[in-house]
Amino acid sequence: MFDFTRIKLVARREVTTRFKMKAYRITLIVQVIVAILAGLSPIAISYFTGDSLGGQVIVVDETNSSLATSLQGRLTDDIPGLPPLEVVEYTEGADSARSAVKDGDAALAVILTNENGAPNYEIVTSNSGVFDITAQRVQAAIVAGNVEVEAIQLGVPQDQAAGLVAAPAITVEGPQGETQNPADNFSGPMFAVVNIGLVLIYMSLIMYGTWIAQGVVEEKSSRMMEIMVNAATPRDLLVGKILGVLIAGLCQTVPMLLAGGLAFALQPRIANAMGVQLTSTFDLDFAAISFQAIWVFLVYFVLGYMLYGSLFAATGSLVSRQEEVNQAIAPIMILVIVGLMLAYVVMALPDSLFSRVLFQIPFTSPFVAMARILMGNPGTGEILMSIAILAVTGLLAMLLAGRVYRTGVLMYGQKPSLLSIFRLNRAQTVAR
């Protein structure tokens, strides 16, 4: 059915051609640099924003209600990834407190006044961003303290009043009877891994699929295809080109993954050497990335590439000019984009019926697999079925693409249509 010697020669030619391209080598270098910068970017962000997440909170209490003591007791809790806050009673007035924040002598100021018998809280911060984590922490502490004070004034005992603002114990029971704490239900490192995997699969399918389509059109326009068809069957040419581009693509992707992985792995050590405390948002433990994440990415990337690569190759064989490539592959590009968008829905609802159905559809499973497997709880049978369906669909797509490829590569100056392809295929079959 396939001549593996010819397939090997075609794949080798494709890889060699890519390696000789200057753009390929430049892209490889740029990808490695970007991966390293991405791995080290949390350190830079924490370095420049670390001071705004901690420091001194000065309190101007014009009502003598012991606000500083209340805040001190609530802001000294150990929050992983966030620097501690020091609460200080400030006696030099509200205007002086505002100046202290403006000059950088304090991270934040809280000014408490009494207006018409009701407390009025004013938070002064030098951070103009919408998401001021320090201001949010102080605001939450003020609300909790205010609720406790009002409860005591209504006659609630102090220990019971404190319980009103304490976080309750909540557990969630999953479909398999497992129980989890919602605070532990979200894994920052795994969430980052799924996002990185989705972006890599999306970019790789688009880039390498476009390589295949453009390569086919280039060979047709130069009439080289006529010579190659005489040396190998169109089906062998198709498989060889798909495998060659895959190998060339992996030679770009693997160094990028290794460089980025090394940067992430060394991130805590580099941060400690620089005296930088990573914030909770960027404190990612790359060691938490399991072997499961690696095999899921590789299996679904390779099988998804075989499926979409066949479609790109078949589509590229139907046009004869480079100007027509983008228009021809537009439907496939839309299919890839839809798969990526649906994957983000699966990330939010990894165990829903909708996610389980998308996990079995071959055109969406390469994208939703990482979210479904790494963030959900699929059974072994469900995973094996998804892989089997994707593999069989990829093989069928390659066989079908081979028939289209056999006809399309020899179509010059003709408007491609399913009817014309069917007629030419039938004529070639009868001739044999």
pLDDT in tens, 338-360: 999 999 999 888 888 999 999 99
CB 76 within 8 A of CB 69: no
Instruction: Report the share of the chain in percent with pLDDT over 70.
Output: 72
Strand segments, DSSP code E, in 211-259 are none
Q: Please, what are the domains in the chain?
A: 4-42+186-431 (no CATH), 53-166 (3.40.190.10)
Using CA atoms of 139, 144, 150, 153 in order, give the dihedral in degrees to the nearest 10: -130
Q: Check whether 430 has a pLDDT greater than 60.
A: no
Q: What single string gives the DSSP state of each residue in 402-421? A: HHHHHHHTT--S----HHHH
Mean pLDDT (whole number) for 75-91: 69
**pLDDT band at 431, cuts 50/70/90?**
very low
pLDDT confidence of residue 184: 47
Helix (H, G, I), strand (E, B) or coil at 167: coil
pTM of the model: 0.67
Higher pLDDT, 332 or 223: 332
Residues 28 and 255: beta-carbon distance below 8 Å: yes
Q: Say if residue 44's pLDDT is above 50.
A: yes
102-126 pLDDT tens trace: 887 887 888 888 877 778 888 888 7
- Tell me which residue of 197, 389, 187 sits closest to 293, measured CA to CA: 197
Residue 108 DSSP label: E
CA distance 432 to 427: 9
pLDDT grade for 308, boundaries at 50, 70 and 90 = very high
Residue 113 pLDDT? 87
pLDDT of residue 67: 77
- Beginning with the edge strand found earlier in the chain, give each strand of the sheet holding 85-89 in spatial order: 85-89, 55-61, 108-115, 118-125
